[in-house]
């Protein structure tokens, strides 16, 4: 057992290195997110994720942001349990009627200034569930949205790109 | 013990339903069937409605046969199966909400998927009843949770803990109502339906190719398995044989999906016991698998890669060697991590003896996947009824009897090993030739049972003469597993609920549809 743990410790971090800028898209993006996050928020942006009817594909990729390759927390972006602790609501899904009230309540519980990110095709447009009797449709039909991240589901890289866009948007406010 | 097919021999078999028989029974025979359930071992695999009809899928374990029994119910009423097949309870409540069918004798009168917020009642019935949006929406507090009685409750010794629909982590929404005596859970009751998207109604009227997109989004973590179950059901309905290479590529994708999800669960269960090391290591392996899926099939979760008629894309040939090395490495690495897991008393203290599910319950509910196999029910759809290419491949179906969180962890660890062997065999024996055949636009009915990572997925498809979907019902394994989580938690401490829940990892979206 100890051999396994020690070997893991000695192997070094799996986290993908930040720049040089001509490196992979992820590395380039990571650097931008880092600078913007520090400038605007001093290394602290708390995100409350709300699944408003997703098929759970988006949740898998949002989860992946926390794995050692992407290690989202190194940018000071972290997921929190309560909307009261959050700066950002990261909403997925075609907003089902059955989740609409919970989404509204989470949004009202989030203190200002707050931002809403609609992540995934369903949250952006209703996706394949557009027009269903059970769905309100895009998140923008339920609460004001600041940034859209497309993809079915968006990859961790696309999610990072979206969060960067949010940070730039937030700085302009 | 009576053979189910023999019991139904005097009833008409529907033509053009493949591959199992679909048998139509009248009200009297249906009542006889319900009366026999107490003494027979016929397992209920699914129950779903149609306007004015109800269908139920059975597995008779003795001869190993499968059949669908249908009953026309023009008045809407049918005798409930839930007294002897408790797995039917929520399925019947759902059929009542969606179709207005009336399960007679069902003791639970509460709605299930319908929270009183859709713009119509009975949305899938022949004539849905509009519901005015001006009506005040039902409040969450309107749903009466079951009361808890007994001396402690009478003296006010219990408290309730409401959790959800929004949970603390990055997970799907649902409501859990705990009744607790101090730290000990006296009862857990679930309320689901929050992510009901109307998937079944959206499928109706679409072409098979279009509906496949929805099937792939019933539960995102099982997108390959659901797409496969739908494709196999549609292919059965249309009597389409797909090329051998497509069968093998489907199996590669299905096993990669199983490996990725089991890795995620293994890590997450350990993390819920505050052992982050395995979570970090397993999430590295999981990411490696997803990247390999992207390289070889063009999508990290392999969404929309399995299509009716075959597969959308061929495997990226230069990537095959890398894939072979990756699964081999995962097989070795998972065993190393399992040794770490097994040598940590503080971790085992949380998982051994926690969240135990009794064997007779998994049998009564016909619960599949690791939930069933950790409690002594060996059912695996890849074995029975079996499907290509698994009949030509060698693999074990691991089974344990303890039924606790620890057993469900170990079933997953061993299944990762089996899936590694399966991917290797598929890559070794990958036949040449085309990867898909065209699917005709024609009528027919088909059913398929496919083993996803979570358990067996049952999908039933009825195609109209023009080839569009008349009715499709994908039954996620979660339907038959969620109720058992309620019993697994009984008598455990509240703090162990996350471990129990993660060890089940039921799908909300797959259940709510």
CB B80 within 8 A of CB B105: yes
Report if residue B343 sits inside a domain: yes
CB contact set of B507 (below 8 Å; sequence gap of 6+): A56, B172, B219, B221, B222, B454, B476, B477, B478
Q: Does B204 touch chain A (CB under 8 A)?
A: no
Nearest Cα neighbor of B176 from B186, B189, B158 is: B189
The continuous run of DSSP H or E covering A75 comes out as none
Confidence of residue A23 (pLDDT cuts 50, 70, 90): very low
Helix or strand (DSSP H, E) at B124: none
d(CA A147, CA B116): 31
Report the distance separating Cα B65 and Cα B256, nearest Å.
29
**Which residue ranges form the domains of chain A, and what is each CATH number?**
23-172 (3.40.50.12280)
The pLDDT, as a whole number, for residue A29 is 63
Q: Are residues B326 and B460 in the same domain?
A: yes
| DSSP label at residue B468 | B
Q: Is the pLDDT of residue A166 over 90?
A: no
Gap from B264 CA to chain A (nearest CA, Å): 9
CB–CB contact B198 A63 (8 Å): no
Q: Compute mean pLDDT per 10 residues along chain B, 513 residues long, and list them.
A: 91 93 95 94 96 96 94 94 95 97 94 94 94 66 84 83 92 95 94 97 97 98 98 97 98 98 97 95 97 96 98 91 95 97 96 96 96 97 95 96 98 98 96 96 97 98 97 98 96 95 97 96
Handedness of CA A79, A85, A88, A94 (dihedral sign): positive
Q: Which of B492, B452, B439, B502 is nearest to B188 (CA)?
A: B492
Looking at chain A, which residue has its C-alpha nearest residue B342? A1
- Residue B158, in any domain of the structure: no
CATH number at residue B363: 1.10.645.10
Residues B204, B103 share a domain: no
Residues of A in contact with B202 (CB under 8 A): 128-129, 131-132
> CA angle, corner B286, sides to A161 and B291, nearest 5?
55
A113 touching B (Cβ < 8 Å): no
Domain limit, last residue, from B126, B153, B185 = B126
**How many residue contacts between A and B have a Cβ separation below 8 Å?**
147
Residues of A8-29 as b/e, b for ≥16 C-beta within 10 angstroms? beeeeebeeebeeeeeeebeeb
What is the rounded CA–CA span in Å between residue B222 and residue B262?
12
Cβ-based neighbour number of residue B317 at 10 Å: 8
Q: Which of residues 114-143 of B touch A (CB under 8 A)?
A: 115, 117-120, 123, 128, 137, 140
Q: Are B404 and B261 in a shared domain?
A: yes
- pLDDT score of B444: 96
What 3-state class would DSSP assign to A60?
Answer: helix
Name B24's bridge partners: B70
Chain-chain contact of A93 with B301 (C-beta, under 8 angstroms): no
* Strands annotated E in B76-170: 77-79, 102-104, 120-121, 129-130, 159-163
Identify which of A36, A39, A63, A64 has the alpha carbon closest to the alpha carbon of residue A51: A63
Residue B22, min C-alpha distance to chain A (Å): 30
Domain end point (choices B126, B161, B183) = B126
> What interface predicted TM-score (ipTM) does this complex get?
0.94
**Tell me, what's the pLDDT at B114?**
95
Contacts of B171 in chain A (CB under 8 A): 51, 59
CA distances from B186 to B5, B299, B510 (A): 42, 44, 28
Backbone φ and ψ for B305, nearest 5 degrees, come out as: -85, -30
Instruction: Give the CA dihedral A106, A111, A117, A118, nearest 10 degrees.
Output: 20
B193 part of a folded domain: no
Question: Which structural domain range is residue B397 located in?
Answer: 199-512
Same domain assignment for residues B101 and B203: no
Residue carrying the six token digits 């979760």: B301
Domain boundary residue among B126, B152, B174?
B126
Average pLDDT of span A35-54: 81
Question: What is the reported pTM?
Answer: 0.94
pLDDT digits over A70-81, tens only? 988 887 888 999
Judgement on whether residues B234 and B368 belong to the same structural domain of the protein: yes
Distances (CA, A) of B367 to B41, B127, B352, B378, B503: 14, 34, 21, 10, 14
Integer Cα distance of B388 and B422 in angstroms: 12
- HEC string for B422-453: HHHHHHHHCCCCCCECCCCCCCEEEEEEEECC
CATH number at residue B108: 3.30.460.80
| Cα atoms found within 13 Å of the Cα of residue B160, Cβ hemisphere only | 11
The count of structural domains within chain B is: 2
Task: Determine, yes or no, domain membership for B113.
Answer: yes
Q: Do A50 and B214 touch (CB under 8 A)?
A: no
For B507, name the nearest residue in chain A, comparing CA atoms only: A56
pLDDT category of residue A12 using cuts at 50, 70 and 90: confident
| In a domain? residue B191 | no
């Amino acid at each position: 057992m100890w051999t396994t743990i020690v070997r893991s410790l000695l192997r070094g971090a799996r986290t993908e290195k930040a720049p040089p800028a001509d490196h992979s898209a992820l590395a380039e993006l990571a650097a931008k997110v880092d600078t913007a996050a520090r400038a605007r928020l001093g290394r602290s942006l708390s995100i409350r994720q709300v699944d408003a009817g997703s098929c759970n594909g988006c949740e898998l990729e949002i989860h992946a942001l926390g794995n050692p390759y992407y290690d989202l927390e190194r940018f000071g972006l972290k997921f929190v349990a309560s909307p009261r602790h959050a700066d950002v609501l990261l909403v997925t899904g075609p907003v089902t009627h059955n989740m609409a009230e919970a989404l509204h309540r989470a949004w009202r519980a989030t203190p200002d200034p707050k931002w809403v990110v609609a992540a995934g095709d369903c949250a952006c447009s209703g996706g394949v569930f557009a027009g269903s009797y059970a769905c309100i449709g895009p998140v923008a039909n339920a609460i004001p949205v600041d940034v859209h991240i497309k993809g079915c589901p968006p990859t961790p890289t696309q999610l990072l790109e979206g969060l960067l866009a949010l940070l730039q948007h937030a700085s302009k406010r | 013990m009576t053979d189910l097919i023999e019991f139904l021999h005097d009833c008409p078999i529907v033509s053009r339903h493949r591959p199992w028989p679909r048998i139509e029974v009248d009200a009297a025979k249906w009542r006889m069937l319900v009366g026999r359930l107490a003494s027979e071992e016929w397992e209920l695999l699914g129950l779903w409605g149609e306007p004015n009809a109800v269908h139920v899928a059975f597995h008779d374990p003795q001869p190993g046969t499968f059949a669908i029994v249908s009953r026309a119910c023009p008045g809407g009423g049918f005798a409930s199966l839930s007294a002897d097949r408790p797995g039917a309870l929520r399925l019947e409540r759902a059929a009542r909400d969606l179709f207005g069918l009336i399960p007679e004798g069902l003791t639970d009168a509460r709605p299930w998927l319908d929270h009183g917020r859709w713009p119509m009642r009975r949305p899938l019935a022949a004539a849905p009843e509009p519901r005015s949006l001006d009506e005040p929406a039902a409040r969450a507090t309107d749903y009466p949770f079951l009361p808890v009685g007994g001396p402690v409750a009478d003296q006010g010794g219990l408290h309730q803990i409401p959790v959800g629909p929004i949970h603390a982590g990055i997970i799907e929404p649902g409501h859990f109502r705990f009744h607790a005596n101090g730290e000990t859970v006296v009862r857990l009751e679930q309320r689901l339906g929050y992510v009901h998207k109307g998937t079944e109604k959206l499928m109706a009227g679409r072409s098979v190719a279009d509906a496949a997109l929805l099937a792939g989004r019933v539960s995102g973590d099982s997108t390959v398995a659901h797409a496969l179950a739908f494709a196999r059901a549609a292919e059965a309905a249309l009597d389409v044989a797909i090329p051998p290479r497509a069968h093998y590529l489907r199996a590669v994708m299905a096993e990669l999906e199983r490996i990725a999800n089991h890795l995620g669960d293994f890590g997450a269960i350990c993390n819920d016991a505050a052992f982050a090391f395995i979570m970090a290591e397993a999430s590295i392996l999981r990411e490696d698998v997803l990247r390999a899926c992207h390289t070889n099939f063009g999508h990290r979760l392999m969404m929309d890669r399995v299509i009716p008629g075959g597969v959308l894309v061929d495997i990226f040939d230069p990537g095959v060697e890398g894939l072979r090395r990756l699964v081999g490495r995962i097989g070795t690495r998972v065993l190393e991590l399992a040794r770490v897991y097994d040598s940590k008393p503080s971790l085992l203290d949380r998982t051994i003896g926690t969240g135990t599910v009794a064997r007779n319950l998994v049998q009564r509910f016909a619960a599949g996947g690791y939930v069933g196999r950790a409690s002594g029910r060996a059912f695996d759809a890849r074995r029975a009824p079996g499907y290509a290419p698994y009949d030509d491949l060698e693999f074990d179906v691991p089974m344990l009897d303890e039924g606790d969180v620890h057993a469900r962890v170990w079933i997953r660890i061993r299944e990762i090993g089996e899936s590694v062997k399966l991917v290797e065999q598929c890559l070794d024996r990958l036949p040449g030739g085309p990867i898909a055949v065209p699917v005709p636009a024609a009528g027919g009915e088909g059913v398929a049972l496919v083993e996803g990572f979570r358990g067996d997925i049952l999908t039933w498809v009825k195609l109209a003469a023009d080839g569009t979907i008349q009715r499709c019902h994908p039954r996620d394994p979660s339907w038959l597993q969620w109720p058992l989580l309620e019993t697994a938690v009984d008598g455990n401490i509240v703090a162990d609920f996350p471990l129990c829940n993660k060890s089940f990892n039921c799908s909300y979206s797959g259940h709510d549809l």
